Amino acid sequence: MEFALRRRNWAALAARTLAGWALGYHRLVVSGAEHLPRQGTALILPKHCAYRDILVEGIVLHRCTGRFATYVMKVGLWGVLEALGGVKVVRPKDVRRLKDHQARRDQIRQARELNKETLDYLAWLYARGELVLSHPEGMRFQRGMGPLQKEIIDHLLQVERERGLRVPLIPIGLQYESFARPGARVFVRIDAPMYTDQFADRQALMAALDQRLRQLSGWA
Protein backbone atom coordinates (compact mmCIF):
# COMPACT_ATOMS: atom_id res chain seq x y z
CA MET A 1 0.00 0.00 0.00
CA GLU A 2 1.31 3.43 -0.97
CA PHE A 3 0.85 6.61 1.05
CA ALA A 4 1.84 10.25 0.83
CA LEU A 5 4.03 11.58 3.62
CA ARG A 6 1.71 13.32 6.07
CA ARG A 7 4.39 15.35 7.78
CA ARG A 8 4.99 18.82 6.38
CA ASN A 9 8.69 19.49 6.83
CA TRP A 10 8.23 23.26 6.65
CA ALA A 11 5.75 23.03 9.55
CA ALA A 12 8.06 20.70 11.48
CA LEU A 13 10.97 23.13 10.94
CA ALA A 14 8.86 26.05 12.19
CA ALA A 15 7.86 24.03 15.25
CA ARG A 16 11.48 23.06 15.86
CA THR A 17 12.47 26.75 15.80
CA LEU A 18 9.76 27.66 18.30
CA ALA A 19 10.68 24.66 20.45
CA GLY A 20 14.30 25.80 20.53
CA TRP A 21 13.17 29.16 21.87
CA ALA A 22 10.82 27.59 24.43
CA LEU A 23 13.48 25.17 25.66
CA GLY A 24 15.83 27.99 26.48
CA TYR A 25 14.30 27.20 29.88
CA HIS A 26 16.48 24.07 30.06
CA ARG A 27 20.08 23.21 29.21
CA LEU A 28 20.35 20.10 27.05
CA VAL A 29 23.25 17.75 27.77
CA VAL A 30 23.42 15.18 24.97
CA SER A 31 25.58 12.06 24.89
CA GLY A 32 25.67 9.32 22.26
CA ALA A 33 24.57 11.58 19.38
CA GLU A 34 26.67 9.44 17.02
CA HIS A 35 24.10 6.65 17.40
CA LEU A 36 21.35 8.66 15.68
CA PRO A 37 21.20 7.70 11.99
CA ARG A 38 21.92 10.40 9.43
CA GLN A 39 20.09 8.31 6.83
CA GLY A 40 17.88 5.24 6.71
CA THR A 41 15.09 4.05 8.93
CA ALA A 42 15.06 3.53 12.71
CA LEU A 43 12.61 3.13 15.56
CA ILE A 44 13.52 5.65 18.27
CA LEU A 45 12.36 4.69 21.76
CA PRO A 46 12.74 7.43 24.42
CA LYS A 47 11.81 7.44 28.09
CA HIS A 48 8.67 9.54 28.61
CA CYS A 49 8.70 11.94 31.56
CA ALA A 50 6.66 14.99 30.51
CA TYR A 51 4.97 16.63 27.55
CA ARG A 52 8.10 18.71 26.98
CA ASP A 53 9.96 15.50 26.07
CA ILE A 54 8.58 15.90 22.55
CA LEU A 55 10.27 19.30 22.23
CA VAL A 56 13.53 17.92 23.63
CA GLU A 57 13.49 14.94 21.25
CA GLY A 58 12.68 17.03 18.20
CA ILE A 59 15.43 19.55 18.92
CA VAL A 60 18.07 16.89 19.62
CA LEU A 61 17.14 14.85 16.55
CA HIS A 62 17.22 17.81 14.17
CA ARG A 63 20.33 19.33 15.74
CA CYS A 64 22.26 16.06 15.49
CA THR A 65 21.02 14.71 12.14
CA GLY A 66 19.08 17.46 10.34
CA ARG A 67 16.12 15.05 10.19
CA PHE A 68 12.55 14.90 11.46
CA ALA A 69 10.72 11.89 12.86
CA THR A 70 7.14 10.67 12.73
CA TYR A 71 5.76 10.48 16.27
CA VAL A 72 3.29 7.83 17.39
CA MET A 73 0.80 9.71 19.59
CA LYS A 74 -2.44 9.02 21.42
CA VAL A 75 -5.67 9.75 19.62
CA GLY A 76 -6.78 12.54 21.96
CA LEU A 77 -3.99 14.96 21.00
CA TRP A 78 -4.58 17.89 18.63
CA GLY A 79 -5.00 17.09 14.96
CA VAL A 80 -2.60 19.87 13.98
CA LEU A 81 0.23 17.75 15.39
CA GLU A 82 -0.16 15.39 12.43
CA ALA A 83 1.26 18.10 10.11
CA LEU A 84 4.27 18.26 12.43
CA GLY A 85 4.86 14.52 12.16
CA GLY A 86 2.33 12.87 14.47
CA VAL A 87 0.23 9.77 13.73
CA LYS A 88 -2.58 8.74 16.03
CA VAL A 89 -3.28 5.38 17.64
CA VAL A 90 -6.17 4.35 19.87
CA ARG A 91 -4.97 2.67 23.04
CA PRO A 92 -7.24 0.22 24.91
CA LYS A 93 -7.61 2.80 27.71
CA ASP A 94 -8.89 5.33 25.13
CA VAL A 95 -11.99 3.25 24.38
CA ARG A 96 -14.81 4.63 26.50
CA ARG A 97 -16.97 2.41 28.69
CA LEU A 98 -20.27 2.87 26.86
CA LYS A 99 -23.38 1.25 28.30
CA ASP A 100 -24.96 0.77 24.91
CA HIS A 101 -23.45 -2.44 23.50
CA GLN A 102 -23.95 -1.49 19.86
CA ALA A 103 -22.35 1.92 20.38
CA ARG A 104 -19.41 0.25 22.09
CA ARG A 105 -19.00 -2.26 19.24
CA ASP A 106 -19.08 0.60 16.74
CA GLN A 107 -16.44 2.47 18.72
CA ILE A 108 -14.16 -0.59 18.87
CA ARG A 109 -14.59 -1.16 15.12
CA GLN A 110 -13.67 2.47 14.38
CA ALA A 111 -10.63 2.20 16.66
CA ARG A 112 -9.43 -0.93 14.87
CA GLU A 113 -9.85 0.70 11.48
CA LEU A 114 -7.89 3.77 12.58
CA ASN A 115 -5.12 1.66 14.11
CA LYS A 116 -4.84 -0.53 10.99
CA GLU A 117 -4.44 2.54 8.80
CA THR A 118 -1.82 3.97 11.18
CA LEU A 119 0.14 0.71 11.32
CA ASP A 120 0.07 0.37 7.52
CA TYR A 121 1.39 3.93 7.29
CA LEU A 122 4.19 3.17 9.79
CA ALA A 123 5.17 0.10 7.76
CA TRP A 124 5.38 2.32 4.69
CA LEU A 125 7.57 4.78 6.61
CA TYR A 126 10.00 2.03 7.65
CA ALA A 127 10.27 0.82 4.05
CA ARG A 128 10.79 4.41 2.86
CA GLY A 129 13.72 4.97 5.23
CA GLU A 130 11.96 7.35 7.62
CA LEU A 131 12.47 7.73 11.37
CA VAL A 132 9.64 6.60 13.65
CA LEU A 133 9.54 7.70 17.30
CA SER A 134 7.39 6.02 19.94
CA HIS A 135 7.41 6.34 23.73
CA PRO A 136 7.42 2.67 24.76
CA GLU A 137 5.80 3.29 28.15
CA GLY A 138 2.72 4.65 26.37
CA MET A 139 2.28 7.48 28.88
CA ARG A 140 4.29 9.80 31.13
CA PHE A 141 6.12 8.56 34.25
CA GLN A 142 8.15 11.21 36.12
CA ARG A 143 9.20 9.15 39.13
CA GLY A 144 10.43 5.95 37.59
CA MET A 145 9.94 3.62 34.65
CA GLY A 146 6.48 2.57 33.60
CA PRO A 147 5.73 -0.85 32.10
CA LEU A 148 6.69 -1.07 28.44
CA GLN A 149 3.94 -1.59 25.89
CA LYS A 150 4.54 -4.38 23.39
CA GLU A 151 2.39 -3.21 20.47
CA ILE A 152 4.99 -1.09 18.65
CA ILE A 153 7.56 -3.91 18.96
CA ASP A 154 5.09 -6.56 17.75
CA HIS A 155 4.30 -4.37 14.76
CA LEU A 156 7.99 -3.89 13.96
CA LEU A 157 8.60 -7.65 14.10
CA GLN A 158 5.74 -8.15 11.65
CA VAL A 159 7.05 -5.45 9.30
CA GLU A 160 10.56 -6.94 9.34
CA ARG A 161 9.17 -10.37 8.44
CA GLU A 162 6.87 -9.14 5.69
CA ARG A 163 9.21 -6.59 4.08
CA GLY A 164 12.59 -8.15 4.70
CA LEU A 165 13.84 -5.19 6.72
CA ARG A 166 16.28 -4.97 9.62
CA VAL A 167 15.35 -1.86 11.58
CA PRO A 168 17.60 -0.45 14.34
CA LEU A 169 15.91 0.32 17.65
CA ILE A 170 17.51 3.26 19.45
CA PRO A 171 16.81 3.64 23.20
CA ILE A 172 17.04 7.16 24.60
CA GLY A 173 17.14 7.98 28.29
CA LEU A 174 15.83 11.31 29.55
CA GLN A 175 16.65 12.65 33.00
CA TYR A 176 15.56 16.10 34.19
CA GLU A 177 17.62 17.78 36.86
CA SER A 178 14.50 19.79 37.72
CA PHE A 179 11.19 20.35 35.96
CA ALA A 180 10.66 23.74 37.62
CA ARG A 181 14.04 25.44 37.95
CA PRO A 182 15.11 27.63 35.01
CA GLY A 183 18.41 26.55 33.54
CA ALA A 184 18.13 23.02 34.93
CA ARG A 185 19.87 20.41 32.81
CA VAL A 186 18.12 17.71 30.80
CA PHE A 187 20.36 14.71 30.21
CA VAL A 188 19.63 13.05 26.86
CA ARG A 189 21.51 9.75 26.68
CA ILE A 190 21.33 7.98 23.31
CA ASP A 191 22.30 4.33 23.30
CA ALA A 192 23.75 2.15 20.55
CA PRO A 193 21.17 0.53 18.24
CA MET A 194 19.53 -2.75 19.14
CA TYR A 195 18.20 -5.23 16.55
CA THR A 196 15.38 -7.70 16.99
CA ASP A 197 17.45 -10.61 15.63
CA GLN A 198 19.91 -10.21 18.52
CA PHE A 199 17.32 -11.66 20.91
CA ALA A 200 15.72 -15.07 21.26
CA ASP A 201 12.20 -13.67 21.33
CA ARG A 202 10.15 -10.55 21.95
CA GLN A 203 10.16 -11.08 25.71
CA ALA A 204 13.97 -11.04 25.81
CA LEU A 205 14.03 -7.93 23.63
CA MET A 206 11.55 -6.11 25.88
CA ALA A 207 13.52 -7.05 29.00
CA ALA A 208 16.74 -5.70 27.46
CA LEU A 209 15.02 -2.51 26.32
CA ASP A 210 13.56 -1.95 29.78
CA GLN A 211 16.98 -2.42 31.38
CA ARG A 212 18.67 -0.01 28.96
CA LEU A 213 16.04 2.70 29.42
CA ARG A 214 16.31 2.41 33.21
CA GLN A 215 20.09 2.77 33.11
CA LEU A 216 20.03 5.63 30.61
CA SER A 217 17.39 7.53 32.60
CA GLY A 218 18.91 7.06 36.05
CA TRP A 219 16.34 4.55 37.28
CA ALA A 220 18.51 1.39 37.30
CATH of residue 36: 3.40.1130.10
Out of 68-77, 110-119, 151-160, least confident range: 68-77
Q: Does residue 5 lie within any of the structural domains? A: no
Does any domain span residue 14? no
pLDDT tops 60 at residue 102: yes
Question: Which of 62 and 94 is assigned the larger pLDDT?
Answer: 62
Which pLDDT score is estimated for 21?
Answer: 84
Number of domains in the chain: 1
Amino acid letter, 129: G
pLDDT at residue 131 in the model? 97
Asked if pLDDT for residue 94 goes beyond 80, the answer is: no
Residue 83 has pLDDT above 80, yes or no: no
pLDDT reported for residue 80: 59
| Alpha-carbon distance values, 81 to 41, 54, 120, 218 (Å) | 21, 11, 19, 30
Which of the four pLDDT bands, split at 50, 70 and 90, describes residue 133?
A: very high
State residue 132's pLDDT score: 97
Identify the pLDDT of residue 95.
Answer: 67
Per the domain annotation, does 17 fall within a domain?
no
The more confident residue out of 152 and 75 is: 152
Domain assignment present for 86: yes
Q: Does 12 map to a domain?
A: no
For 14-68, give the secondary structure using H, E and C: HHHHHHHHHHHHCEEEEECHHHCCCCCCEEEEECCCCCCHHHHHHHHHHHHHCCC
Domain-located, residue 115: yes
What's the rounded mean pLDDT across residues 84-100?
73
80 or 139, which is more confident: 139
Judge whether 52 lies within some domain: yes
User: What's the domain range around 46?
Assistant: 27-217
Q: How far is CA 111 from the centre of its chain?
A: 20
- Is residue 78 domain-resident? yes
Return all residues near 166 (Cβ < 8 A) that are at least 6 apart.
Answer: 160, 195, 196, 197
- Range in 53-57, 99-103, 161-165 with the lowest mean pLDDT: 99-103
Share of the chain above pLDDT 70, in %: 93
What is the per-residue pLDDT across 185-196, written as a single tens digit (0 to 9) for each? 999 999 999 999
